Structure 1
């Protein structure tokens, strides 16, 4: 190559007629002889199960700060949004200098940590790197350096404090508009959020300025919600958002509401609570309504149903004619956290323009296996599904049956396409990043290569819809009899009211804090009792990590039931704190009620 460059310089000086030929040869060598080859996958595909002739490697095994969404620049540099608060910088930049697929350089930048910097999005648009916390959207001009040296511009500020379902995923259309989410700070707009038998507020006041998607100018700095335009409504929680260039439409994957059984045990069984409602994949147009909080989608019945907070019982639909029908209705609690439409040509043709979806995995499927924890694929043509949804990558959890969320080794979070058509997947547990590549004959890819993944869809405990009786995670037989016979009173109360969030092993998950070693559990008993009686909302720190969800009021429990539960959690999961008596609960309940009476005056 060096000799060829020298020859070109000589020919330029001499004005040779062969210059055009030599220059053409040079260009061909540059593009076809010097383009980095796709690296080999790891021997075990970095722990993943993939369709035939696909390979995977671990770009990085872990990132300090773990990972949320990610994006890949045209030169292969990877940018990752880190989680708060255990990151040393708001973002991470990764570079592979020797083309082996592994990150050789990892740098963190934009250390803007504060109470609102829990990471959400990372995307490149029009030469800018856009990234977000739950309350703010920033951008930086990409300068060619791994870490951009340009000014960090604040594009949008959400003035409300961080609450549950606050995320800021991003999508950009062809006209320079930016779309983002203002999530609903509620499970289903109940008077007492997540509390058993609490009715829904009607009309739901949250719909006025939350539970929707707003459209903004992607280039305008210093915007607030009032500067945008409400594009779609009825969306409780959206973490994955994407614009599809094929049909020029916005698409979203939704998290369905929680706790159908726990809040309405007279209307929904334990099994129905574990598999419903659907996580839907929607095409959204101007004015679209996805139904929340008045309706949810039932994937088994294939239709919208009236929510129990508004009189539903799993059979009544109500007024649903105006609601946006899903593109695909996935099983409940899969937790879809990212979506991309594949544009490359490295993968076989059937994947082109289809949708990859990262399912982060459930936290509330007990006593059945936790569900999700894989990357799915929806084949599409012209913006419509061209076949049933598929399992594309599985094995992230590292175990076959996930009883508690904390059992999973990894949880797929973000997706990005590289310049060569490779698919990148990030993990929120340890910050691992995979690169998935295709190494076979694109023309020969077909059913034979997909067969093993079809079997996983039908049989894997984290993917299939569990059988109501045979897949419950207790010994087979009469589940109720086993529950009554084997569980002590304290364990039974804990599993009934607490385990769905904090998990049966007390280790919690990304959404709900752990009980083992928690200063909230083993510390001040009065504070702990008040959490049960009054509930808790807003950001708290537990064992050095931030959590921002809702603990419902449990004041309907008797004093002895509360004392039993609290003593159980203070003396299990490795905790060795003192017991709490029913008399202590009774005393604080009376003081609590007197305080509320004084406030009312």
Structure 2
């Protein structure tokens, strides 16, 4: 190397002396390329780090403040181009491509592309692998060869098709191993495989028929076009909902962060307390081997007791563990319930301090069902790793996305972190689902001095922030007796109390819903046909609907166990609140619909 440099210097010096003055300008640049291997300096961070709280030594900037269609997962190419899976792709294509042309870290060019054919429902994946851009809808995994252009002009290849129509928990995140295989989940269209999904005290079906073709992860050939589920191999089971999936190249294993089930208190209030419903079951960090079983629907993981327990649908009471617990895959970490883990990234870059090398970054999208306690999640966690196992307790890496100190309703959160990607220089990129905002996080401190002192403020947030800590059962309640979670001693209208007990878990206390459940304000479903609305409450609703131009595809559980008087009070309340100004519903109208829609034995 040194001898080459000396020869280069002598030749350049001779050229300069011969009168070719241009060498004076190009010489330093060539020396840098040949000898120093210089890389462009990191761009300046935003003065407020884009609103984020980060460990000492880190800066952040906002790459783009908002994307039409918002954002799910994202990927960064070797030249810095960013590709984003859009959350609401209607009419604009399924993906966005971003480019920074002046190296200030901000996206100057934004283009959308990719028609998924079923784009009324959002997908998840956006990954770059072996020169291809892979992305998904809820029923298809596609890829395009990257050609050097910002928007690839290569053929769109259909790799995997899910032949079942979109249903709840249908996502298609993807991961790749070193042998040319692709992994993706097929979600369970149920909360706990009940006879009546999410319905009060509905028993579980035993054996659960869903497990044969759903609630697991399948392995496919990453390069073969035209595959269906039958062409893949079932790799792991007992996984109700997976959005965060990644292969760890250092450990050479598949990892996931799995969503726990919902409604454990609301459907089984005689067994569980409101507090237990807020913090359980756990969201689990798992290393998966071929044949791994994560327990769903028969078992759930309790991170407080650090073990699996029998689900109430199958005879559990919060204490029984049931059979075959020892055969279930042991979580590496059990996070609190409802954090909503939506992406996972193993850090292989060199920009960050050694503390982060090969560790796991995790995006927690945030809860929708933690009431009457604060909604939780809405931050980026980090787990230090060594040889495929946690080497220390989990940490808070980035917080502040929500923009408020206490999140009571999901809609209170200004931003919700969703996707993670690493850039070619080792920067970390984070996407948001609410406005399509993207941050770039960079380290500019002294890597040699990075340690506990630089992490101290983030450790304090882990212990104190209402969206991160496990709430105190008494002190941290953000609802009152009038909200309906406790004995009805307040002066709030009876309909409001009943609404907060039976409906606010999904549609939220303010009626604005969230990304999974539709809003009630100004909705034709609420203000339109009375009989249709009453039928939905009595008999439930399943399948895709559109509210305010957006698609929702979850399950509305039937509430036919409620008295006609109570249903009338709830429906009158929602038709006359949240900005709605429709006339009320009386018990006789509910009774009429109940009689007309009740199936004969």
What TM-score, normalized by structure 2, do the two folds share?
Answer: 0.94
Residues 357-372 of structure 1 aligned to structure 2 (within 5 Å):
357-372=362-377
SS of equivalent residue, structure 1 residue 350: helix
| CA shift digits 1:74-105 (9 cap, x unpaired) | 00000000013446121000001111100000
- 8 Å contact 1:116–1:133 — kept in the other structure? no
Q: Is the 8 A contact 1:68 1:120 kept in 2?
A: yes
- What SS does the aligned partner of 1:214 have? strand
Runs of 4+ with deviation above 2 angstroms: 22-35, 84-87, 111-117, 474-484
Counterparts of 1:276 and 1:68 in 2: how far apart (Å)?
Answer: 25
3-state SS of paired residue (2:506): helix
Partners of 1:27 and 1:586 in 2: how far apart?
Answer: 86
* 110-119 or 465-474, which deviates more: 110-119
Residues 223-253 of structure 1, C-alpha deviations (whole Å, 9 max, x = no match): 0000000000000000000000111000000
Alignment of 1:276-291 (within 5 A): 276-291=280-295
Write the distance in 1 (CA, Å) between the matches of 2:442 and 2:79. Answer: 17
DSSP-derived class of the 1:321 partner: helix
* Residues 91-490 of structure 1 mapped to structure 2, 5 A cutoff: 91-114=95-118, 117-319=121-323, 320-474=325-479, 483-490=488-495
Give the C-alpha shift of residue 476 in structure 1.
Answer: 9.7
Measured against aligned partners, the alpha-carbon deviations of 1:164-196 in whole angstroms (never above 9, x if no partner) come to 000000000000000000000000000000001
Give, in whole Å, the separation in 2 of the partners of 1:479 and 1:535.
22
Deviation at 1:321, TM superposition (A): 0.9
- Structure 2: 5+ residue runs without aligned partners? 1-7
| Structure 2 partner of 1:67 | 71
CA distance in 1, matches of 2:35, 2:261: 50
**Would the aligned equivalents of 1:470 and 1:476 in 2 still touch at CA under 8 Å?**
no
1:480–1:249: structure 2 CA closer, same or farther, 3 Å change rule? closer
User: What residue is the counterpart of 1:54 in the other structure?
Assistant: 58
Contact 1:72 1:416 in 2 (8 A): yes
Q: 1:543 aligns with which of 540, 545, 548?
A: 548
Distance across 2 between alignment mates of 1:31 and 1:548: 57
Are residues 372 and 87 of structure 1, via their aligned partners in 2, closer, same or farther at CA, if it must alter by over 3 Å? farther
Query: Is contact 2:484–2:500 with CA below 8 Å preserved after alignment?
Result: no
**What is the CA–CA distance in structure 1 between the aligned matches of 2:216 and 2:59, rounded to whole Å?**
38
Contact 1:85–1:545 (CA under 8 A) maintained in structure 2: no
Give the drift of 1:487.
Answer: 2.9
Counterpart secondary structure, 2:185: strand
Preserved CA contact (<8 Å) 2:90 2:120: no
- 1:532 paired with 2:537, answer yes
Contact 2:204/2:313, CA 8 A, preserved across alignment = yes
Q: Secondary structure at the match of 1:230?
A: strand
Partner of 1:569: 574
Question: 5 Å matches for 1:505-524?
Answer: 505-524=510-529
Q: In structure 1, how many angstroms separate the alpha carbons of the residues matched to 2:89 and 2:575?
A: 26
Residues in 1 aligned to 2:167 and 2:268: alpha-carbon distance in whole angstroms? 24
Shift of 1:35: 2.6
Match of 1:554 among 553, 559, 563: 559
Does the CA contact (< 8 Å) of 2:482 and 2:488 recur in 1? Answer: no
The CA deviation at 1:26 is: 2.6
**Partner Cα distance (1:145, 1:447) in 2:** 43
- From the superposition, tell whether residues 175 and 519 of structure 1 become closer, same or farther in structure 2 (CA, over 3 Å): same
Q: Is the 8 A contact 2:364 2:417 kept in 1?
A: yes
Matched, 1:38 2:36: no
Number of residue pairs the alignment of both structures matches: 584
1:72-83 equivalences in 2 (<5 Å): 72-83=76-87
Note closer, same or farther for the CA distance 1:479–1:161 as it changes in structure 2 (3 Å cut). Answer: closer
Q: Structure 1 stretch 190-199 or stretch 472-481: which is displaced more?
A: 472-481
- Report if aligned partners of 2:191, 2:261 keep a CA contact under 8 Å in 1: yes
**8 Å CA contact 2:483, 2:497 repeated in 1:** no
Q: Could you state the TM-score of these two structures normalised by the residue count of structure 1?
A: 0.94
SS at match of 2:490: helix
Q: State the 1:117 CA deviation.
A: 4.6
